[in-house]
Amino acid sequence: MDVTTPASTDPWLIVGLGNPGPEYAMNRHNVGFMVVDLLAERIGGKFKRAGKAQAQVLEGRIGPAGPGSRRVILAKPMSYMNLSGGPVNALRDFYKVPVANVVAVHDELDIDYGTLRLKLGGGDNGHNGLKSMTKAMGSDYHRVRFGIGRPPGRMQVADFVLKDFSSAERKELDYLVDRAADSVECLVTEGLERAQSAYNS
């Protein structure tokens, strides 16, 4: 089976990458949490603690009712960004999710603000959450990359990603998070090629 084409019987694990705690909630680094929070709203459920997996999870379905829908597990690792791989791999094992049906939603420095890029596999590009996931389970998972742009002037990358979105950025943020959530739904229900065609910019 082509790994870009979902099997109707296999669940999908959609992971929003971020840091737990209210002080991080609006950071650029937490846009993955924002996207899966919106997906949770659409499903109509609430996150719950996932036993020993150090994550919050929500099970549900995405897509049209009937055979076109897909079973999904939304997840937010509670281990802090740099240690995301352990909780994600524990959930993958528990729910019996193939690596190719894992989707990481994350911030991306090398893409302009608000631009989306979906892909399967690849490197971590210095992103500590991806680095941890790849170390735990290999690199053959999907990524939904949400562009945040590069830091201005001489600002350090670590400072930039741990700052809240600017007031100018926040004017568009709800729309962009909504579009990113749409892209995840398209990826899961229609496959990578269709999602790339519709959302990659």
CB atoms within 10 A of CB 195: 24
**Residue 29 annotated in active site:** yes
For residues 162 and 29, the answer to whether their CB atoms sit within 8 Å is yes
Strand locations in the chain, DSSP E? 12-16, 48-49, 55-62, 70-77, 102-108, 116-120, 142-147
For residues 140 and 99, the answer to whether their CB atoms sit within 8 Å is yes
For residues 55 and 95, the answer to whether their CB atoms sit within 8 Å is no
Which residues form the catalytic set? 29
